[in-house]
A and B are shown apart, each in its own frame.
Chain A
């Protein structure tokens, strides 16, 4: 069973890696947006009167990581193919396959994001490490922190895909991807700390953010990297991430099975 999912994953990775020109354009765009956000942060920090909860270099590192791993943490990255399968009724073919749809799609989405991230992250990371002082990506204080970062990044990535599966499942009900996708990704993005890092938000907003799963996907791994979160905190967070992941996957599995039972395939 697992082998089938693995080979879907591998095939998708290979297709994704074909789009090198698109990746190059993406890297350019990522650099532009990254430097723009950083300039805005620098301007805010220039005359700040009180000591902000994150240092400027932490915020800058956070921003570059966000740009480099955008494909891993973005909610709005979508697969139109899957939407069309659902709305056009071709889902019937998928149901004929001898493997569960949830696992099949999960592997597909996972590979798509991973291939696009693999192409984009290294050039961005390498260049930003060597940038002049204020704009540089600061490496984590020690190796252990880095390893922890990798672990929580991967756990967060698995969570993002589980969350985005819920978007696809919701299309079974609404039949139009526009609305649910927009709502989900707009708020999810903000709550994940993609607009501004969570520590910079006011207290009441942080309380809301920490209740929801979104911040585990982007804000948490990046702050582990900058050393803002201690090693013990990172380990505790990893446990929370895994719990959320299990809950999200179980929920997605359950709702998908229910939706599939009621699915109506129109001929044509």
Chain B
């Protein structure tokens, strides 16, 4: 863990060398979810509601997902660009160092410019949470925090999984976008607006529902068992998803053959 923070400090220093470009990038990153959100707002202005969900409820869902995703992206960017490490053969160097490969890849990239996006989503979360008609008990607040943390873990696990694929294919796959960007877009809305099978896949195969839809039911005290306090603990199930992903990573590392260039 100490090693990781050392990596972070080094990268921070190097990125701060280009201050103007850094600020522009941060601003641009900030605005990316903004237009999507504007689209969402306009749709609500036109239609009033979404299968019984009000604007602020969906906004809360949206903010939780965006916050979790941008957090995961800030920290786990190394996995996002991992295929370039495999292509260039630079992964060999990580293997000979006496530290775990996961920590090293984690520390290899850290995009501070994306912090802009993170701040905006955090502000959006606070704004949506304060506008919603919910009496915020301690347990509900804890659930909200837990939702974000669990979301970060799930997205990180998916980054790791997508990166592991490049042990076999060498090149990264565009199809992995379905689960990273697609997962983000999809979970920006409450999952029950989709078809049944979509909801099932994203609850049991990839546990997206664990970090936003199901606990959200509890916070908003909606029908379908939403009153049961067990729902508050569901985000914890998201952590379990990390286990198979790390396993795949380890199998991948063992399978790895250097491109030798």
Interface membership of B112, Cβ < 8 A: no
Contact B47 A44 (CB under 8 A): yes
Contact B42 A178 (CB under 8 A): no
Interface membership of B251, Cβ < 8 A: no
- A36-B186 CB under 8 A given contacts A43-B193, A49-B48, A52-B46: yes
Count, chain A residues at interface, CB 8 A: 33
The residue from B39, B47, B182 contacting A52, defined by CB atoms under 8 A apart: B47
| Minimum distance in angstroms from B171 CB to a CB of chain A | 9
The stretch from A24-32, A62-70, A234-242 touching chain B is A24-32
| Interface positions of A from 31 to 65, Cβ below 8 Å from B | 32-33, 36, 39-40, 43-49, 52
Contact B25 A179 (CB under 8 A): yes
The residue from B18, B45, B175 contacting A28, defined by CB atoms under 8 A apart: B175
| Minimum distance in angstroms from B102 CB to a CB of chain A | 26
Contact A44 B42 (CB under 8 A): no
CA distance A45 to B48 in the complex (A): 10
The 0/1 profile, CB within 8 Å of A marked 1, for residues 179-204 of chain B is 00010011001000111001000000
The residue from A45, A182, A195 contacting B31, defined by CB atoms under 8 A apart: A182
Interface membership of B145, Cβ < 8 A: no
User: Interface majority SS on A: helix, strand, loop or mixed?
Assistant: helix
Interface membership of A212, Cβ < 8 A: no
CA distance A186 to B34 in the complex (A): 9
Interface membership of A104, Cβ < 8 A: no
Contact B25 A182 (CB under 8 A): yes
Closest to B174 in A: A25
Which chain B residues lie closer than 8 Å to A28 at the CB level?
A: 175, 178
Interface membership of A190, Cβ < 8 A: yes
Which chain B residues lie closer than 8 Å to A260 at the CB level?
A: none
Closest to A184 in B: B28
Contact B25 A200 (CB under 8 A): no
Closest to B28 in A: A182
Contact A47 B52 (CB under 8 A): yes
CA distance A179 to B30 in the complex (A): 12
| Minimum distance in angstroms from A82 CB to a CB of chain B | 18
Which residues of A are interface residues toward B (Cβ below 8 A)?
22, 25-26, 28-29, 32-33, 36, 39-40, 43-49, 52, 176, 178-179, 182-183, 186-187, 189-190, 195-196, 200-202, 205
Known A200-B43, A200-B46; further 6 A-B contacts with Cβ < 8 A:
A39-B193, A43-B194, A52-B46, A186-B28, A187-B35, A190-B39
The contact sample of 14 A-B pairs, CB cut-off 8 A, is A22-B174, A25-B174, A36-B185, A39-B193, A44-B46, A47-B52, A176-B24, A178-B24, A182-B31, A186-B31, A186-B32, A195-B39, A196-B43, A200-B42
